Chain A
Amino acid sequence: MKTVYIKRFLMNVIVYLTIAMSLYYLYSPMSNYGGNKTSSTVKFVYQQF
């Protein structure tokens, strides 16, 4: 019974660590993926004036 528990514990540690690392990689504040994209249509062009 104890071995089963330890196996499941280790399994869960691996799964949770993988999930946590993946989440950090995808959503870390350090990641600049797609950051600050604006859908603003205002374009300032010198010549427009």
Chain B
Amino acid sequence: MYVAVLVVCKSILQESFYKYILALLNGLFLIVIYPNPIHFFLLVLYSYLLTFLCADVFKFKKKIWGILFLLLPMLLVKFDIRIHSYTGKLNDLISFAGLSYASFRIMGYYMDKAPKEKMADITSYFNFLSFTPTLLIGPIDKYSRFKISQDNGFTNINPENFIIGWNNLVKGIAFKYILAEAVDRYWLSKYDTQSKEFLPMVNNMYGYFVYLFFDFAGYSFMALGIGKMMGIHVPVNFTNPFLAVNPSDFWRRFHISLGDWLKEYFFTPLYLFFTRMKGLKPYPLLRQNASLFLTFLLMGCWNGFRFNYILSGSLFGLYSMIHNTYTVQCKKKGKDVFFGNMNPIAVRCISIFIMINLSALAVYIFSGRCHL
């Protein structure tokens, strides 16, 4: 329906009107389908004003304060803070679907904004945060990329992009509504999550990993497809994660936009921070590993301050640290310190097998379907 409206508008309006039509459609979705739309509108206003104050008025040199203020609503929800005078849960007041993803985009915009760069116009900013296909579970886009798409919105609506979008949409539907549902219905649901026996636990582990991939990748492909048909390029979020040969390769294939976001806005600044610390200067490996571990720990915490999330994030952090150390050692010694001179195809197959099992284990812990 949205695509049809945009196609009609394309034939009668100029390119500059695209963002207003898009804002209208995004607003319509929020008002009609979204539960408690007022929460979302308030978050957009809050973050816009705060970004303006922090970046253009007070011009904080250390962005951390701005980040903390911008992330305040999400942090309050994640920490599940209660106020004594209010008998209900604060979460019920400020929590809403898509808060985390909106917070990621808000923070990304604030971090990317150069000191003298003009503030985004409110319509584009609203569209960036509320773009219907990516509103709830991403992918996490960057404002600059979104803005370029939006500025050429009507131009991007063409048969070529429609076909690309359509194919992605069909793929997404098949992944999410057929494969993920079939895995859940005929595999996962057959096994008791409370069982402590080996077979049900193994099935829960692999079943959930496969289910999560099809469900999440399906959603991402649908978002990409609908976005493309609407004239907005949504970043690719999944490319064959089951073929990953190491942890860093895995995050280049699985939930790519989150991996990129964490790398750009957390890992790199943290690594630079450690580099500036005099005591850590002689230990580059330690700096890298510490940054990697903390990045994945943050990823775990972001899902919520629960033991299974934190443990799952820590496991991914541990995998990355081990792999990073292994890579450095290989470089140092000029040879593969683990596989030696083994056939590269065999090395690749073994690596894929190890990575699938390690990531399935971490995702299994993340799922909360296991006993801890």
Contact = CB atoms under 8 A, between A and B. Distances in A.
Indicate whether A and B are direct neighbours in the complex (CB within 8 Å): yes
B198 to A, nearest CB: 27
B178 A19 contact: yes
Contact of A19 (B174, B181, B182, B185): B174
Contacts of A22: 174, 178, 182
- Size range of the chain B interface in the assembly: under 10
A4 interface: no
Given A23-B177, A27-B177, 5 more contacts: A16-B170, A19-B170, A19-B174, A26-B181, A33-B185
A26 B173 contact: no
Interface in B104-136: none
A22 B179 CA distance: 9
Contacts of A33: 185
Q: What are the 7 A-B residue pairs with the smallest beta carbon separation, nearest first?
A: A22-B178, A26-B181, A19-B174, A23-B177, A23-B178, A33-B185, A26-B178
B237 to A, nearest CB: 21
Nearest to A16: B170
A26 B185 contact: yes
Interface string A14-29: 0110010011001100
Contact of B182 (A15, A16, A26, A34): A26
Contact of B177 (A15, A16, A26, A34): A26
A26 to B, nearest CB: 5
Interface in A1-49: 15-16, 19, 22-23, 26-27, 33-34
Contacts of A26: 177-178, 181-182, 185
Contacts of B173: 19, 23
A23 B175 CA distance: 11
A22 B181 CA distance: 10
Contacts of A23: 173, 177-178
A18 to B, nearest CB: 9
